């Protein structure tokens, strides 16, 4: 069969399918398939955080395909992913929560441009008036000794918490004090990072909803091990 004959046969098949099912139904199916081309799945805790006070819920977020990440426009308010994330946050944390994100200080940890764009849009979309961020510094050059560092209130509601990793304050949290509060933590699997484990064990929130973006079978930030 020639190339022209193959194309002609395919077009006839498409026309027959449209006549039997309807163009609108085909369009809706294709749009729905494109809209839900992602995974947002709950994963089990490893039980590493040594605190009975903390309720930890973990979800991985990834593209259903083999390459790349989810397009940032899927966080628009008319999209399925936005609605699913909004429902997940509301059901587990309500509307009163603190969004905490990580900011790495090394090129090694930086994502591709599309994932970084998604990260920025996620922060903007789900930020509240009580947010915080975490920065780490040269952690890969230190030996694995983790201890709780300095804690100080920087205002009536905000605090600064340091986690020492040989040199002082290798990990620093700045933002709203999250003790006994609900936390939306985006960007890293908390239980894979000794800094984060120590941080939350010593300043325990009430609940943590941990969203872990994954691209090409690797987490958004590499493991510190």
Sign of CA dihedral 27, 30, 33, 35: negative
Q: How confident is the model at residue 105 (pLDDT cuts 50, 70, 90)?
A: very low
> CA distances (Å), 82 to each of 157, 188, 193, in order?
29, 20, 27
First to last CA, the chain: 57
Contact 148, 156 (CB under 8 A): no
4 or 58, higher pLDDT: 58
Nearest to 213 by CA among 145, 87, 136, 117: 117
Cα–Cα distance, 147 to 158 (Å, whole number): 21
The confidence score (pLDDT) of residue 35 equals: 63
| Stated pTM of the model | 0.70
Instruction: Quickly state the pLDDT bin for 92 (edges 50, 70, 90).
Output: very high
**Would residue 27 be called left, alpha or beta, if left means φ above 0 and alpha means ψ between -120 and 50 degrees?**
alpha
CA 211 vs CA 94, 163, 202, 219: distances in Å? 16, 22, 21, 11
What integer is the mean pLDDT of 164-186? 82
Residues 6+ apart with CB under 8 A from 22: none
Where residue 81 falls among pLDDT bands split at 50, 70, 90? very high
Alpha-carbon 92 to chain mean position: 15
- What lies within 8 Å, CB to CB, of 192 at 6+ separation is 219, 223, 224, 225
């Amino acid at each position: 069969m020639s190339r022209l004959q193959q194309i002609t046969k395919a077009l006839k098949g498409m026309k027959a399918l449209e006549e039997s099912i309807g163009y609108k139904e085909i369009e809706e199916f294709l749009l729905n398939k494109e809209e839900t081309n992602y995974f947002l799945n709950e994963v089990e805790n490893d039980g590493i955080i040594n605190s009975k006070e903390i309720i930890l819920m973990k979800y991985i977020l990834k593209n259903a395909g083999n390459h790349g990440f989810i397009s940032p426009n899927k966080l628009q308010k008319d999209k399925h992913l936005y609605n699913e994330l909004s429902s997940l946050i509301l059901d587990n944390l309500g509307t009163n929560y603190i969004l905490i994100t990580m900011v790495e200080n090394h090129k090694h940890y930086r994502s591709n441009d599309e994932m970084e764009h998604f990260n920025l849009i996620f922060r903007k979309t789900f930020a509240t008036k009580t947010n915080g961020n975490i920065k780490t510094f040269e952690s890969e050059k230190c030996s694995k000794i983790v201890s709780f560092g300095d804690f100080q209130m920087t205002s009536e509601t905000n605090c600064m918490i340091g986690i020492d990793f040989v040199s002082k304050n290798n990990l620093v949290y700045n933002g709203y004090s999250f003790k006994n509060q609900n936390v939306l933590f985006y960007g890293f699997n908390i239980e894979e990072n000794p800094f984060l484990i120590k941080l939350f064990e010593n300043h325990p929130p009430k609940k943590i909803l941990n969203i872990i973006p994954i691209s090409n079978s690797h987490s958004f930030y590499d493991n510190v091990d």
